[in-house]
Amino acid sequence: MEITVIASGSTGNAYRISDGQTAVLLDAGIPLKVIQRALNFRVRDLSGCLITHAHGDHVKAAGDLAKAGVNIYTSQGTIDACRLSGHRIKAVRALEEFQVGTFAVLPFDVQHDAPDPLGFLITSRTTGEKLLYFTDTYYIKYRFEGLTHIMGECNYSMDIIEQSVRNGYIPPELVPRLVKSHMSLEHFTDLLKANDLRHVKQIYLLHLSNNNSDADRFKEAVQRLTGTEVYVC
């Protein structure tokens, strides 16, 4: 599985994956022109774009990508909230698998303050590799077998948030929303412990908070737990 990080974080998220035959974009939360440059202006080589939810840092370029000829796969809630339309917009439902080129994609429901948000389990029929992709959720209730790659949000740690509140960096009234809509290091490691990691080759930590995370600490904690390659995006 070839994974290219185009953008990650609260200012925008976009990732390209490929199994050598099919290329797919995961989220499109940055301007189309930035995506075009990152893909060497070969946007039409994409077989599709999977959108997790309706917030701008994940969906910003969805409409423009559709106009450029790329199929957009997302939930009906996201389609309605973002007023996406046209024959390139494809509504998908949680736990109903669909195909994008050589990828089998299984959407699943996640926990976030957006209408009908999704994560995606993506399996290549070419390589047999299995990628778990999720972001902007504080918890995942499902368990997965045979994973080879994980790309998931690791936004904050509770002790750093508590320090930020004490130092006046964030108001305490924002904390409940944060912890009920984004995944902490603690919940991320709990997720890892609950899943079969025997075949995992790479783990990507996505969407780290600018103020409430520690990239080196998060990477070291996940590496120590899993013994696999870990990348911070």
Q: What is the pLDDT of residues 15-69, one digit of tens each?
A: 999 999 999 999 999 999 999 999 999 999 999 999 999 999 999 999 999 999 9
The model carries a pTM of 0.96
pLDDT of 211 over the 90 cut: no
- C-alpha to C-alpha distance for 204 and 20, rounded to whole angstroms: 20
In the predicted model, is pLDDT for residue 178 greater than 90? no
Tell the CATH topology of 2-232: Metallo-beta-lactamase; Chain A (3.60.15)
pLDDT at residue 174, rounded to an integer: 85
Predicted confidence band at 214 (pLDDT cuts at 50, 70, 90)? very high
| Amino acid 115: pLDDT | 95
Average pLDDT over residues 166-176: 86
Model pLDDT for residues 87-109, shown as the tens digit of each residue: 999 999 999 999 999 999 999 99
Average pLDDT of the residues of the chain: 96
Q: Residue 180: its pLDDT value, please?
A: 82
Please say if the pLDDT value at position 215 is more than 90: yes
Number of H helices, E strands in the chain: 8, 13
Distance CA 113, CA 110 (A): 10
Strands (E), the chain: 2-7, 14-18, 23-26, 48-50, 72-74, 89-91, 98-100, 103-109, 118-124, 130-134, 149-153, 202-206, 229-232
Q: What pLDDT is recorded for position 169?
A: 83
pLDDT of residue 176: 82
- Domains of the chain, by residue range, sit at 2-232
Q: Across residues 152-165, what is the average pLDDT? A: 93
Torsion of CA 113, 116, 119, 120, to 10 degrees: -170
The amino acid sitting at 82 is C
